[in-house]
Amino acid sequence: MSVNVTAAAPDFHAELNFAPRSQQEARALASMVVASLPFPPLPVMVLQGEDGEDGLASSFDLLHTAVLNAQLNAQLMPADRDAAELARSKAAVLQQLQRDMAALHASSFGAEFPDGQAYDLFCGAFREYLLKHYATSTHDLRFYPLHAVAADSVLVQQGSSHWNASRMLSGQAQGDACGGARFSGYRDVVRAYALDLATLEHE
> Could you report the per-residue pLDDT of 152-177, keeping only the tens digit for each?
999 999 999 888 887 776 555 554 44
Q: Look at residue 122 in the predicted model and tell me its pLDDT.
A: 98
pTM here? 0.81
C-alpha closest to that of 43 among 117, 146, 138, 128 = 146
The answer to whether 23 and 10 are in contact (CB under 8 A) is no
C-alpha closest to that of 202 among 14, 69, 5 = 5
Q: Look at residue 52 in the predicted model and tell me its pLDDT.
A: 65
C-alpha closest to that of 47 among 62, 38, 34, 57 = 57
| CA pair distance 125, 166, nearest whole angstrom | 20
Q: Look at residue 30 in the predicted model and tell me its pLDDT.
A: 84
Q: Look at residue 182 in the predicted model and tell me its pLDDT.
A: 77
Mark the ranges of the chain whose per-residue pLDDT is less than 50: 1-18, 75, 175-179, 202-203
Per-residue DSSP letter, 137: S
